[in-house]
Structure 1
Amino acid sequence: MLRLARRAAAAVCAAVVVLGASGCSPRAGEWAEGTAVIAGGGTTGVYFDYGGHFAEELSTALGVSAEVTETEGSVDNLRRVASGEALLGFAQGDAAADAVAGRGAFDEPLPIQAAARLYDEYVHVVVRADSEIDDITDLTGRTVSLGAVGSGVNVIATRILDVARVDAGSVSNPQLDLRESIAALESGEIDGFFWVGGLPTPGIENLSGSLPLRLLPIEQDWVNAVNARYSDAYRSSDFPAGAYGIAQSVPTMAVPNYLIVASATPDAVVKDVLTVLFDARSRMAEDVPAAALLSRRQAIFTVPVDLHRGAVDFYRDQRG
């Protein structure tokens, strides 16, 4: 763990350098001479869309070079941020909780912290509207993507199957990302797929315009069971009527999404990031509806992931 923390600190120090100077000290304006990378997700998901708009806002407001990069999702994002490969990343609350505890997909705790709670993500279990699959328990023996390796989707999908008493080994899982899952469902290569994302997720919204879809229900009892067995990071929610062209609301499970930074990131950089994030919220929300859900009141609730010290200072200053 100590070696990992030192490597992360060195990587962040290398990436966050005073323009035209040297060293690594927490002064405002300490941004990389190269590119500040935001670890997003698949190109058809909310993470990538949000990250792309946020990168543009950071570049404009701070005069830095920022870009979003395609990744496999939350688990991948957490590893990239911890290693210094990315300055910022999006991550589901359950995957982030595993990362700081060193469990699940993580062999040891990662030196990451949260800058903000952004919005809640919804667990989608998507099938064709004319499918014979009506329930999670009907997935046995089917070909269903449980998400790409290294994704938070895969974490949640396997947990839901567990509490629903569906043997994950009985489900043929091609391990597709969202873009691949959408294409495979459209072509009939798979019977359904899991996805975890904001509403609406652009790729699924586009698919619903050409292919009628259904979302399988995730009932309260299953949400309670996942919380009790794994991580108390989930809550019950609903897809509203009209989402993806569906006539009636559908119960599901929601999980918070965090903006993640490395623990070694200078405080001033985190404060810069949050200043731009909140100032640009309305502009980004014109194209990314999830951005409108950002709230100063809710942003601090990232337990069990600690808020970065720069984030704590930012939110305290906002109250003054």
Structure 2
Amino acid sequence: MSRRGNRHARWRRIAAAVAVLVMAGASSACSTRSDEWGDSQYAIAGGGSNGVYYAYGAEVARELSGSLGVRVEVAETAGSVDNLLRVSSGEALLGFAQGDAAADAVAGAGAFDEALPVRAVARLYDEYLHVVVRADSDIVDLGDLAGKTVSLGAENSGVNVIAARALDAAEVDIASIADPQLDLSASISALEGSGIDGFFWVGGIPTPGIAELAKTTPVRLVPVEQTWVTAINTRYSDAYRPSDFPVGLYGLDESVPTMAVPNYLVTSSDTPDGIVRDVLTSLFDGRTDIAQRVPVASLLDRRQAIFTGPVDLHPGAIEYYRDQRD
């Protein structure tokens, strides 16, 4: 055999050895997952395609698929209420939900006719109430929304829940508002085309769709006063806290008061413990990589993730967090 032939043969042997090592590594990674996964395909209920839920869900699905070798996809949904219903019915393995909507779900209150069998996997980050109008709008506070065409969020969304509570606290008659019940994507398009006067949104900051809107259509955020936040907490689940949108966000010239609500990753009470432990292992191990594409993922913290009341942690999540303390 020629020298060239020997060299090619040697490289083929090296390539074959590398392939074996890669396959062995992949097999080892997948073999660490719980047997409870089986061969099913799973969904993560992720909200509208322009929101943080969907982006975060897509990254979690990618991480689970890559690290565990399971089939997971993100599903576009109406938001928190829809996500909680999908998780409780088994249509989705995981879902994102606002803390207020999740509290209603386990209590069988608000949008839920009965208590749902959902449990928390982790507290992820806080979401912020956005009341978005065009920069040249004459709307300066929530009271000015009366008589306007304003989307209060899609049906079965957490946005709809919190919008109704904020307007009630500000003593605005919801019946006086023409509400087309649009999701975030449709709300952005409608505001851009002057089809609506404003819209409500609840999400992490920056919310990608609103950030993109602000690049082409100057917008303002209507302030949500602290006294209203206090009133909402008194009347409902005490799930909210006063907060602010920082200067520079969405092109803002000054900070704007609003309220924040925690966001949870939830699952059904029937989800096997091993699957929940695997989800959390992948979620925390992949946090830095996920945060490169979804900045709010950097806020995930093991010390804070356990505070999901009044939604109980799933037993598999309790086991995971206890193991991490050892």
Give the TM-score normalised by structure 2. Answer: 0.89
Q: Residues 19-39 of structure 1, C-alpha deviation per residue, up to 9 Å, x if partnerless? A: xxxxxxxx9232142311000
Cα distance between partner residues in 2 of 1:164 and 1:100: 27
Q: Residues 189-213 of structure 1, C-alpha deviation per residue, up to 9 Å, x if partnerless? A: 0000000000110000000000111
Match of 1:283 among 286, 289, 297: 289
Cα distance between partner residues in 2 of 1:298 and 1:249: 26
Match of 1:293 in 2: 299
The answer on 1:209 being equivalent to 2:215 is yes
Q: Secondary structure at the match of 1:113?
A: strand
One-letter amino acid of the counterpart of residue 163, structure 1? A
Deviation at 1:48, TM superposition (A): 0.3
Matches within 5 A, 1:9-24: none
Match of 2:78 in 1: 72
Match of 1:309 among 303, 306, 315: 315
Match of 2:146 among 140, 163, 182: 140
Matches within 5 A, 1:133-212: 133-212=139-218
Q: Secondary structure at the match of 1:203?
A: helix
- Unaligned 5+ runs, structure 1: 1-26
Q: Which moved more, 1:258-267 or 1:29-38?
A: 29-38
One-letter amino acid of the counterpart of residue 305, structure 1? V
Cα distance between partner residues in 2 of 1:287 and 1:270: 23
Cα distance between partner residues in 2 of 1:32 and 1:148: 35
Q: Secondary structure at the match of 1:80?
A: helix
Cα distance between partner residues in 1 of 2:247 and 2:282: 34
Match of 1:106 among 90, 109, 112: 112
Q: Residues 70-108 of structure 1, C-alpha deviation per residue, up to 9 Å, x if partnerless? A: 000000000000000000000000000000000100000
Cα distance between partner residues in 2 of 1:142 and 1:35: 44
Match of 2:101 among 90, 95, 99: 95
One-letter amino acid of the counterpart of residue 248, structure 1? E
The answer on 1:127 being equivalent to 2:137 is no
Structure (1/2) with the larger helix percentage: 2
Match of 1:273 among 274, 279, 289: 279
Match of 2:49 among 43, 52, 56: 43
How many residue pairs align between the two structures?
Answer: 294
Cα distance between partner residues in 2 of 1:296 and 1:119: 12
Cα distance between partner residues in 2 of 1:169 and 1:116: 36
Q: Secondary structure at the match of 1:236?
A: strand
One-letter amino acid of the counterpart of residue 215, structure 1? L
Match of 1:225 in 2: 231
One-letter amino acid of the counterpart of residue 82, structure 1? S
Match of 1:116 in 2: 122
Q: Secondary structure at the match of 1:125?
A: strand
Cα distance between partner residues in 2 of 1:83 and 1:198: 26
Match of 2:18 in 1: none
Q: Secondary structure at the match of 2:216?
A: coil
Give the TM-score normalised by structure 1. Answer: 0.91
Match of 1:248 in 2: 254
Runs of 4+ off more than 2 Å: none
One-letter amino acid of the counterpart of residue 218, structure 2? P
Cα distance between partner residues in 2 of 1:243 and 1:34: 41
Match of 2:60 in 1: 54
Cα distance between partner residues in 2 of 1:131 and 1:32: 54
Cα distance between partner residues in 2 of 1:203 and 1:148: 16
Matches within 5 A, 1:18-33: 28-33=34-39
CA RMSD of aligned residues (A): 0.8
One-letter amino acid of the counterpart of residue 56, structure 1? R
Match of 2:270 in 1: 264
Cα distance between partner residues in 2 of 1:221 and 1:231: 16
Deviation at 1:230, TM superposition (A): 1.0
